[in-house]
Amino acid sequence: MTQFETEMQDLKLEVINMWQLVLLQLSKSKEALLTFDKDLAREVIAIEKRVNSLELKIDRDCENIFALYSPVAVDLRFLLAALKINTNLERIGDIAEGIAGYVVASPQKFNAKMLESTRLVEMFDGSISILTDTQTAFEFEDTILARTIFSRDDVLDEINRNADDGATKYIRENLDTIPEALYIISIIRKLERVGDQSKNIAEEIIFYVEAKVLKHNKKAKD
């Protein structure tokens, strides 16, 4: 294996490690929310420093490979995709950190009935599943799996659209839950963005593997 091939392989492993770290953040933020574990939420916030450091390292490694080897064709596409995926993963890490921050700030455990009425747990599970499958698609260059992300993101969008109605209905019956409802709606908005970031990642995987640009191309995603 050449030095170039070794560095490209190492870079791919770094991106996968970044993925796993962000997935850990997202999974732990869900657990912290459901168990109202403020210490676990603080752990999620602390992990963000590691995510940020890894993002910077991946950026530097990509820049070094560009400078030293002037890659072309699929190697060039891989590097371009890795840079954008790296950014999207860091943003998902920020989202998980923000959700954990709501758990730390909340004065009381989130009401199970409100979580059910807004479908927040379902949305959390969907977000984690999508992010997990984008990692698999990237690792194994599986564009068929990557294309499933687009329709699955539509489910998250639908939950987001209907969340206000679910929260409003519960608030009418329990007027003392307005602050809690605002937290939950904010968390749902954040999880909707996890779907958007995952969709961006899926586009980059398809670009890297198939040399197809899907951004702003609805027909190619259908």
Instruction: Decide: 103 and 29 in contact? Cβ < 8 Å.
Output: yes
Q: Which of 87, 104, 96, 85 is nearest to 48 (CA)?
A: 96
Instruction: Say if residue 145 is exposed, middle or buried (CB neighbours under 10 Å; 0-12, 13-18, 19+).
Output: middle
pTM: 0.93
Say if CB 95 and CB 191 are below 8 A apart: yes
Run of H or E residues at 148? helix 143-173
Query: By the 8 A CB rule, do 55 and 77 touch?
Result: no
- Helices assigned H by DSSP within 36-142: 38-69, 73-105, 112-118, 120-140
Sequence spans of domains, the chain: 3-221
Q: Report the pLDDT value the prediction gives residue 177, as an integer from 0 to 100.
A: 66
Q: Is 70 left (phi over 0), alpha (psi -120 to 50) or beta?
A: left
Q: Is 142 helix (H, G, I), strand (E, B) or coil?
A: coil
**Residue 175: its pLDDT value, please?**
61
Residues 82 and 15 sit within 8 Å (Cβ to Cβ): yes
The architecture that CATH gives domain 3-221 is Up-down Bundle (1.20)
DSSP letter assigned to residue 141: T
Joined tokens for residue 22: 């962000």
pLDDT by residue for the chain (222 residues), tens only, comes to 899 999 999 999 999 999 999 999 999 999 999 999 999 999 999 999 999 999 999 999 999 999 999 999 999 999 999 999 999 999 999 999 999 999 999 988 988 888 888 899 999 999 999 999 999 999 999 999 999 999 999 999 999 998 877 777 777 776 666 778 888 889 999 999 999 999 999 999 999 999 998 775 655 555
Q: What is the pLDDT of residue 169?
A: 73
pLDDT of residue 164: 79
